Chain A
Amino acid sequence: MDEREMMAVVESILFVSGDPVALKDIARVLELDLRLARKLMERMIDCFNFERRGLQIIKVNDTYQLATRPEYSEYIQRFVPEEKKQGLSQASLETLSIIAYRQPITRMEIDALRGVKSDYTISLLLERGLIREVDRLDAPGRPILYGTTDLFLRSFGLSSLDDLPPLEENI
């Protein structure tokens, strides 16, 4: 099978899946090793970008997913007028940033950083699936440790946590 054909196979799999597809599943179907599969996916992402297709391939932590491009959202809106999406509040964004950069982190630490109670905000973020309970701290009360989810990465267009914009630290 040549590369074009393999890409076509992957494209159809991504279409059927809708959800993110793990690299190892792509490798399994194509009978490739992970390294080659990853290379193929990189080439495929480049191809989609170069050809300025309406769809793009989004990579999040070694999973791949088909999605529309934000540039064309205006036309999708014309096609199906959509209710305006409610973005995250300032408090939510603040809490989410702290969790993203400092994970795993307890609620107490978040409260201390923000100077306000964050339980409500945390419950909202949990509900939206942007954060999750990662573990529990080995300390009295075994407080919950929070971390971000793949949905968080996807919602903010990040491939992995390494892609987070750098904190401009000058302490």
Chain B
Amino acid sequence: MAVHIKLQVFEGPMDLLLHLINKSKVKIEDVSIFDITQQYMEYLEQMQQFDIEIASEFLVMAATLLHIKSCMLLPKAEPEVEEDGHLLHQELMRKLKEYKLYKEVSQKLQEREMIFSKVYYKLPEEILKSGEESPDSIFTGVSLEELQKTFIKLLSEKRFHERAPMIHRIERDSVSVRDCMNQLKDFFEVHHEITLFQLFEQYDDRSDMITCFLALLELLHENFIELYQTKPFDDILIRKRKWIHGRARDDGSS
């Protein structure tokens, strides 16, 4: 059977305490710790009755309230305990007041948000700055998917099926990505450009090929090389990027 009782949702124990204090229409500094503790505990009980999971923060606050209350109940003969309770009480009240400030101001901000969410802006005009290369031209029509497709095609063409042992052995890379990058850089010192297929023809080991591909991506990232195609589905050409040459060279990989 469904029970239709609306239990106000609170952001946290501070929110709940503030609500209880507001309900009893007293100032924060005049709040009776006994009354407020009782109301607080009653609320938690209600939550339990409705099977609402009580967040641990609410329990911490309950413990704090009970601690303060118990300190105050003890005979005056224990000045330390009383002092302790007093300090905790003060601290809690101070926190509550501060929380109340932000809670109130957040309502003001909410009103402002409602108004200013009705303001519209315009997107910038797309004007290519003079002397600036269009970001598209880095890939000049080569999409990442195409690059990936080509690579998969290469892998399948090479057919390394004969090297599929039952037990996988992880072997140390014969060439590291770093080495491969340097090799490629050296290559481009001499050669102007190379197609992706030509480049991979030199490799017959699958893992070396992957290393080379990673090195290629790294170099692309460093802006050392650029990829382009003369027409769709044509071989992807790799060439050295000229204009950023100096910077790309002394820039290490990240």
- Which single residue of chain B is at the shortest CB-CB distance from A77? B118
B123 contacts which chain A residues (CB < 8 A)? Answer: 18
- Which single residue of chain B is at the shortest CB-CB distance from A94? B106
A91 contacts which chain B residues (CB < 8 A)? Answer: 11
Question: Is B169 engaged at the interface, CB distance under 8 Å to the other chain?
Answer: no
Question: Is B243 engaged at the interface, CB distance under 8 Å to the other chain?
Answer: no
CA distance A134 to B112 in the complex (A): 24
Q: Is the CB of A93 within 8 A of B13?
A: no
Which residues from 124 to 171 on chain A have a C-beta closer than 8 Å to any C-beta of chain B? 154-158, 164-165, 167-169, 171
Number of A-B contacts (CB under 8 A): 111
Q: Is the CB of A117 within 8 A of B57?
A: yes
- Selected interface stretch from B91-99, B136-144, B173-181: B91-99
Question: Is A98 engaged at the interface, CB distance under 8 Å to the other chain?
Answer: yes
A109 to chain B, nearest CB (A): 11
Question: Is B116 engaged at the interface, CB distance under 8 Å to the other chain?
Answer: yes
Question: Is B166 engaged at the interface, CB distance under 8 Å to the other chain?
Answer: no
B192 contacts which chain A residues (CB < 8 A)? Answer: none
* Other-chain contact of B102, A58, A68, A87, A97 (Cβ < 8 Å): A97
Q: Is the CB of B61 within 8 A of A76?
A: no
A52 contacts which chain B residues (CB < 8 A)? Answer: none
- B: interface residue count bin: 35 or more
B115 contacts which chain A residues (CB < 8 A)? Answer: 70, 157
- Which single residue of chain A is at the shortest CB-CB distance from B105? A97
B99 contacts which chain A residues (CB < 8 A)? Answer: 113-115
Q: Is the CB of B109 within 8 A of A101?
A: no
Question: Is A66 engaged at the interface, CB distance under 8 Å to the other chain?
Answer: yes
B98 contacts which chain A residues (CB < 8 A)? Answer: 113, 171
A85 contacts which chain B residues (CB < 8 A)? Answer: 117
Question: Is A88 engaged at the interface, CB distance under 8 Å to the other chain?
Answer: yes
B97 contacts which chain A residues (CB < 8 A)? Answer: 171
The 10 lowest CB-CB distance pairs between A and B, nearest first, are A116-B12, A73-B118, A18-B124, A115-B14, A70-B118, A93-B106, A97-B106, A157-B116, A18-B122, A68-B120
Q: Is the CB of B113 within 8 A of A156?
A: yes
Q: Is the CB of A113 within 8 A of B102?
A: yes
CA distance A70 to B119 in the complex (A): 5
Which residues from 3 to 46 on chain B have a C-beta closer than 8 Å to any C-beta of chain A? 11-15
- Which single residue of chain A is at the shortest CB-CB distance from B110? A93
Q: Is the CB of A115 within 8 A of B57?
A: yes
- Which single residue of chain A is at the shortest CB-CB distance from B92? A115
- A: interface residue count bin: 35 or more
Give me the interface of B with A, judged by CB distance under 8 Å. 11-15, 55, 57, 61, 94-95, 97-99, 101-110, 112-125, 127
Question: Is A123 engaged at the interface, CB distance under 8 Å to the other chain?
Answer: no
CA distance A51 to B226 in the complex (A): 53
* Other-chain contact of A115, B13, B110, B119 (Cβ < 8 Å): B13
Q: Is the CB of B116 within 8 A of A115?
A: no
CA distance A137 to B61 in the complex (A): 28
CA distance A114 to B95 in the complex (A): 9
Q: Is the CB of B122 within 8 A of A15?
A: yes
Q: Is the CB of B112 within 8 A of A156?
A: yes
* Other-chain contact of B104, A100, A117, A157, A168 (Cβ < 8 Å): A168
Q: Is the CB of B106 within 8 A of A66?
A: no
Q: A94-B103, A97-B102 are in contact. List 11 more A-B contacts (CB 8 A).
A: A67-B121, A68-B121, A85-B117, A87-B110, A90-B11, A115-B14, A115-B61, A116-B55, A156-B112, A164-B105, A167-B105
B120 to chain A, nearest CB (A): 4
A19 contacts which chain B residues (CB < 8 A)? Answer: 124
A90 contacts which chain B residues (CB < 8 A)? Answer: 11, 106
A128 to chain B, nearest CB (A): 11
Q: A67-B120, A156-B113 are in contact. Are A114 and B12 (CB under 8 A)?
A: yes
Question: Is A69 engaged at the interface, CB distance under 8 Å to the other chain?
Answer: yes
- Which single residue of chain A is at the shortest CB-CB distance from B13? A115
